[in-house]
Amino acid sequence: MKLKVFILLLTTVFFRLTAEDGSRLWLRFTDAGTETIRFSGLLADNSKVAVTEFQRAWKEMGKAPLSLTGSMKNNLLIIATPHERVIRRLIQSKDLANLSDEGYIIKTINNKNQTYTVVSAKNDAGLLYGVYHLLRLIQTNASLSGLNISENPSYERRLLNHWDNLDRTVERGYAGHSIWQWDELPGKISPRYKEYARANAFIGINGTVLNNVNAAPEILSREYLEKVKVIAGELRPFNVKVYLSVNFASPKELGGLQNSDPLNADVQRWWKQKVSEIYTLIPDFGGFLVKANSEGLPGPMDYGRTHADGANMLADALKSYGGIVMWRAFVYNPDGDDRAKQAYKEFKPLDGKFRDNVIIQLKNGPVDFQPREPFSPLFGAMKQTPIMPEFQITQEYLGFSNHLVFLSPMWKECLDSDTYCAGKGSTVAKTTDGRIFDQKITAIAGVSNIGEDINWTGHHFAQANWYAFGRLAWNNALTSEQIADEWIRMTFTKDQEFVEPVKKMMLTSHQTAVDYMMPLGLHHIFAWGHHYGPEPWCDVPGARPDWLPKYYHNASENGIGFDRTTSGSDAVSQYNSPLREEFNDIKTCPEEFLLWFHHVAWDYRMNNGKTLWNNMCYAYDSGVNKVREYQKVWDRMEDYVDKERFVHIQSRLRIQSRDAVWWKDACLLYFQQFSREPIPYDIERPVYDLEDLMKIKLDLKHHN
């Protein structure tokens, strides 16, 4: 009996040790199809991180570490920069000439009846990215014959923005507390810092802003800078630099000065001394991210100065060290005008007035990371000032870590949008990556969805959004289908019976979320404060109008939507022709943005002949049905996935399905009060009563 109990306990312990928890992300090499890969050895400098990383993965694949060799054997893997003579022998100088500092080549070379696989770059950073590309090919079972790859990143600086606070809470984070253990630093170093750096480097991310844009001045204190120094040291081998969000009032709040006026010589001197202190501790420090004069935060306008005055003061302090200022354009003031216009109004007049080490960080849409927005008109509008896109990886407005929503299609929609700033084909991507404007800085940022949860992101499929951001930051020409295919094969299995249906589910998931939340251009009708569920009726006494859903949907007996035409707020005029005319005309406005730009009558006939009201009803119903279909798809995948991840995702899809019905019933029953039209009888009837839905008040701790 005792033996049986012992065996049972031993089995339970083993099961727990081998259970799949998602912590490995896409860095899984045990199942890589290596049976056809044959390397006779490795010609490389073993001190290089790139070489160490290859050998580490190779060992995980079940292979013995490749022996280092100086001889030119057949099927030899070569990982080296041009400092090695063999590279100069095998690679033509023109092949390396077009590489940037982080670019690389991967080539199959036949020389004197021998074949070599060569990974080369100008420096160690490029070499690391090249090795990771080779490993990705191995992981996804891609052919390794006839390789002829040459890649440079689309953006020079590819950053995660952590909205992490010093108390380790994470604003808009849904995967537990911050991974930065400030209370234990600098004495105790979490092993997750290196795991984090490796995961980021693998997908091309080379920078991280450690703290919330709503920054506490204390981050610049000596105590915290010593902690930042330790994190920087852990990330450095993987070519990931650290940046900090700074509070503009730091000279006053932290330094004890009378004010933080950017034209005050004492303030300027304080920032220069602080920057010198930072670079003494962290020589490769990246720079500052600044949110100023937004949502009550201090900034240069408190002193009658401009955004350029504030940004330039910081840029001057950072200039000699190579640091940059990323100045956020997320600003809106209670001036009574359309909130969607305000970033353009404040920043367009300042074009050309910023230092050359300042870049404006701009959210993809003109309001605030909504499930669907048109691109911000500031993209392409500032021709003398570099702009960097800011995407939100964390799902603040898309179901937190409960909903499966693959965000790559949303980001691609923005990047591929034509601004017409320099004629047809002037996409958002081209206006930000240096192909149209002569920019000294190119960059892109993603608001992190990472926390201390064992699977990093709270939802196993949310890992795909972290992955997708990195891949698009490296190459903004990649398709969402390519990215999803890679991620599935690297994270789950390469079995086509799994890959194809799951990929289809991922690629349609963003449109599905838009359908069950806010179709046809509806936006910002979320519940007060937490943004999780629907609350189109929300009315908080004393709140600013542009904090409330009614400001955006304007539902009445006459119709619904925000009039941004020339007869309304005239936001359309911030776009270049022919977009302004296209958006302005209800007949030509893309229907996915119809209620963004127009206040539309309920009985307006859409392109399919149905009324606006009926189209809204069918969109909500479609969203619900698609999530239910995802449940069926996932249930059929049980034999292809470990039990732990299968059950976890299955439970999240149940939540998403219930939430989709909640959204559908809440919005249709509420708006029906104004349309006074029946919900079409061939779609599912509401299962909730509006009065009950209006009483729902969520426990935010439960959802955070």
What pLDDT, in 10s, does the model give residues 17-48? 347 999 999 999 987 765 567 899 999 999 99
Does residue 299 share a domain with residue 164?
yes
d(CA 376, CA 432): 13
667 and 618 Cβ atoms separated by less than 8 Å:
no
- Residue 588: the pLDDT is 98
d(CA 373, CA 575): 14
Does residue 430 share a domain with residue 327?
yes
Report the share of the chain in percent with pLDDT over 70. Answer: 96
In a domain, 502, yes or no: no
Helix, strand or coil, per DSSP, at residue 445: strand
Per the structure, the count of domains in the chain is 3
Does residue 144 share a domain with residue 50?
yes
Mean pLDDT, rounded, for 94-110: 95
213: domain CATH number is 3.20.20.80
d(CA 300, CA 533): 36
**DSSP-derived secondary structure for 119-164:** EE-SSHHHHHHHHHHHHHHHHTT---SS-EEEE--S-SEEEEE--B
534: domain CATH number is 3.90.1330.10
Mean pLDDT, rounded, for 209-222: 98
In a domain, 441, yes or no: yes
Report the share of the chain in percent with pLDDT over 90. Answer: 91
Does residue 207 share a domain with residue 102?
no
Does residue 131 share a domain with residue 206?
no
In a domain, 134, yes or no: yes
- Residue 35: the pLDDT is 59
The pTM assigned to this predicted structure is 0.96
Q: Is the peptide bond before 578 cis (omega within 30 degrees of 0)?
A: yes
Residue where a domain terminates, one of 151, 166, 187: 151
Does residue 137 share a domain with residue 270?
no
What pLDDT, in 10s, does the model give residues 465-508? 999 999 999 999 999 999 999 999 999 999 999 999 999 999 99
d(CA 362, CA 326): 10
DSSP 303: G
**Is 80 exceeded by the pLDDT of residue 14?**
no
Q: What is the largest CA-CA distance in the chain?
A: 84
Output the average pLDDT for the chain: 94
Cα distances (angstroms) measured from residue 685 to each of 252, 515, 661 = 59, 17, 10
Q: Annotated catalytic residue: which of 396, 418, 535, 665?
A: 396
Does residue 163 share a domain with residue 70?
no
Angle at 44 between CA 110 and CA 93, to 5 degrees: 55
Residue where a domain terminates, one of 151, 174, 208: 151
pLDDT tier at 703 (50, 70, 90 boundaries)? very low
In a domain, 374, yes or no: yes
d(CA 161, CA 181): 17
Does residue 244 share a domain with residue 135?
no
106: domain CATH number is 3.30.379.10
Does residue 319 share a domain with residue 224?
yes
Does residue 324 share a domain with residue 178?
yes
Amino acid symbol at 422: A
What pLDDT, in 10s, does the model give residues 267-308? 999 999 999 999 999 999 999 999 999 999 999 999 999 999
Mean pLDDT, rounded, for 658-664: 98
pLDDT tier at 702 (50, 70, 90 boundaries)? very low
- Residue 325: the pLDDT is 98
- Residue 37: the pLDDT is 75
d(CA 456, CA 401): 11
pLDDT tier at 81 (50, 70, 90 boundaries)? very high
Mean pLDDT, rounded, for 180-187: 98
- Residue 21: the pLDDT is 95
**Is 60 exceeded by the pLDDT of residue 438?**
yes
In a domain, 27, yes or no: no
CA pseudo-torsion sign 12, 18, 19, 23: positive
- Residue 7: the pLDDT is 39
Residue where a domain terminates, one of 133, 151, 169: 151
- Helix-helix angle 612-635:496-517, to 10 degrees: 150
User: Is 368 designated active site?
Assistant: yes
Mean pLDDT, rounded, for 79-97: 92
Q: Annotated catalytic residue: which of 295, 497, 500, 581?
A: 295
Cα distances (angstroms) measured from residue 419 to each of 425, 428, 431, 566 = 8, 6, 8, 19
User: Is 302 designated active site?
Assistant: no
Q: Annotated catalytic residue: which of 195, 368, 570, 582?
A: 368
d(CA 201, CA 196): 9
In a domain, 660, yes or no: yes
3-state helix vs strand vs coil in the chain, percent to 5:
40, 10, 45
pLDDT tier at 704 (50, 70, 90 boundaries)? very low
Does residue 546 share a domain with residue 400?
no
What pLDDT, in 10s, does the model give residues 592-644? 999 999 999 999 999 999 999 999 999 999 999 999 999 999 999 999 999 99
Q: Residue 466: which domain range?
A: 157-478
In a domain, 510, yes or no: no
In a domain, 70, yes or no: yes
Mean pLDDT, rounded, for 298-326: 98
- Residue 698: the pLDDT is 83
Angle at 651 between CA 650 and CA 657, to 5 degrees: 90
User: Is 396 designated active site?
Assistant: yes
Does residue 179 share a domain with residue 52?
no
